[in-house]
Amino acid sequence: MRDNPQLPSLMLAKLRSFASALDRDDDYNERSFPSAAMLYNASRVFAYSFSSEISLISLVLSQEEIDPEMEIHLIVDEEDPLLPTQVRGLNLDSYLWLVKGKNLVEHPESPTFPKKETPREVKELATKFADLGCVILEEYGTLRAEFRGVEVARIVEDANDGFQINVGVGDYDQNANSVLSPYDDPEMHLKKVLSTVQHFRTKKSPPHPLNRILRSRWLMSEAVSNIELLDLQELNFVESLLPEHDPLKNWPCTAIGRKGKSVVLVLSATGIDLSLVPHAAGQISRHNPDELVLLTPEQDRHPVILRQARHLILSPEFISIKAPWPEFSENT
């Protein structure tokens, strides 16, 4: 379907019909992208995506033509739980629509994820992580252990309605280890994993997948461990916007700190990550901070990121700190 040369014209035709259905017939400029299309003029924008793989809000924010006086109509084929949260953190007149057959309906509000009480047994198991120098993260009722931005273990329910520590880098590694080595002492196993991660996740380490992955979290881990780099009194990781957590996905990472009486929201990202500003918008609407810091390597502060950031309801301060990973051309 996506290789169909007629797809761009089909998406634009469908988008024109949506504009007409919303009584917004007008002359528009047209723009098409893989899996998405846009109509725009001086007063409004219509953007449509038929795939959840593309962030429609990232696409719109990246366009030079967007300004706060425009009506922004975002139309998606599949419900996106992030969109309503993200638009609340943006200084845009946004309208969200969901395609239902041949009609458009208002996109539902973001779902509310109930706070889960962490069992005492889980908290007791998690003390093993801290004793080994890991950062303990509690997200949506799950306790995980990270070291320099890499998840090395998490606590999961076992077959007997109890809990166990699964050790490894990411889901696949953890699940494989639990199946192949079910009787290994998790503390000893975790020490071995930590030794490997520590060896390769340093400034002077040789090229290795472990110093290529999860650099956004590595950068934030460096800031959390050295809060004076951001001139903060404290800084702690906070939950991601959604409970689904891919431990090997290099999403922007979020933390909250304090500077005097001000609450400071900090997001880190590496590469030219077009999801950074939408993530920041979502976390702004969730936490209502006094200040916003976007932490990126200097070379990743691309004009498109600056263009997106001008639409946030809270003006960000861009800060760069020295990258903790090794610098060699094949690994950047």
99 lies in some domain: yes
Please report the DSSP string for 32-66 in residue order.
Answer: EETTEEEEE-SSEEEEEES-TTS-HHHHHHT-TT-
112 lies in some domain: no
Whether residue 14 sits in one domain with residue 90: yes
Whether residue 57 sits in one domain with residue 87: yes
Whether residue 288 sits in one domain with residue 236: yes
Q: How far lies 251's CA from each of 82, 122, 280, in Å?
A: 14, 26, 12
Whether residue 221 sits in one domain with residue 190: no
DSSP 239: -
Q: Which residue range forms the structural domain that includes residue 194?
A: 120-200
Q: What's the pLDDT tens digit per position in 160-202? A: 878 988 999 988 888 888 777 776 788 899 999 999 999 999 9
Residue 156 CA to residue 164 CA, distance in Å, equals 6
Residue 153 CA to residue 147 CA, distance in Å, equals 10
Whether residue 320 sits in one domain with residue 221: yes
Whether residue 163 sits in one domain with residue 98: no
Whether residue 223 sits in one domain with residue 195: no
E strand segments, 205-301? 234-237, 253-259, 262-268, 291-295
111 lies in some domain: no
77 lies in some domain: yes
1 lies in some domain: no
Q: How many domains does the chain have?
A: 3
Residue 144 CA to residue 125 CA, distance in Å, equals 11
Does the pTM surpass 0.85? The reply is yes
Q: What's the pLDDT tens digit per position in 4-47? A: 677 888 899 999 999 999 999 999 999 998 889 999 999 999 99
Whether residue 214 sits in one domain with residue 326: yes
Whether residue 87 sits in one domain with residue 148: no
